[in-house]
Amino acid sequence: MEKLIKYSLVLVGIYTAMRTIIALFFYDQSSIAFLATEFNQDQMDEYRARVLLPAFFLTLNYFIYRYFMGKNPTSALWPIYVISVSLLITHIIGFITFMPLTKDPIMMFFICLFVSFVARAGHNKRKNEIF
């Protein structure tokens, strides 16, 4: 399990670093800076507006709440877990409200589910090492 957690987190880190560089420096050459091949530009704009941005704001609100409650994350993996759970919540709402049940959104949902599982398992392991 330890190797799976480390391998998965390395892959997620490489993927997000690559997507960050593409979004920052090559966005004008790649009109869709996200992996969603079945979406046209209008659907991608709606996906960003109804799934990605709400997940970002939900994550920010959670950490603002934690700050005002005086609680700190118990491991460095906790923010990754919260972000992936926020994406899961907004994906579920997106499936209910507007998103088509095609290959790419379902694949992204399962990737978020897997990252949530791995981050939670890694967090629990680190938390047990701290205490």
CA–CA distance, 116 with 131 (Å, rounded to integer): 22
Reduced to 3 DSSP states, what percent helix, strand and coil does the chain have, rounded to the nearest 5? 75, 0, 25
State residue 24's pLDDT score: 61
Distance linking the first and last C-alpha atoms of the chain: 20
- The amino acid sitting at 58 is L
Give dist(CA 88, CA 47) in Å, integer.
Answer: 13
Cα–Cα distances in Å, from 86 out to 36, 37, 125? 19, 23, 22
The predicted model scores a pTM of 0.63
Per-residue pLDDT of the chain (131 residues; tens, 9 = 90+): 778 878 887 887 788 777 767 666 766 665 554 555 667 777 777 777 777 778 888 887 888 787 778 877 666 778 888 888 888 888 888 888 877 777 777 888 898 898 888 888 888 887 766 54
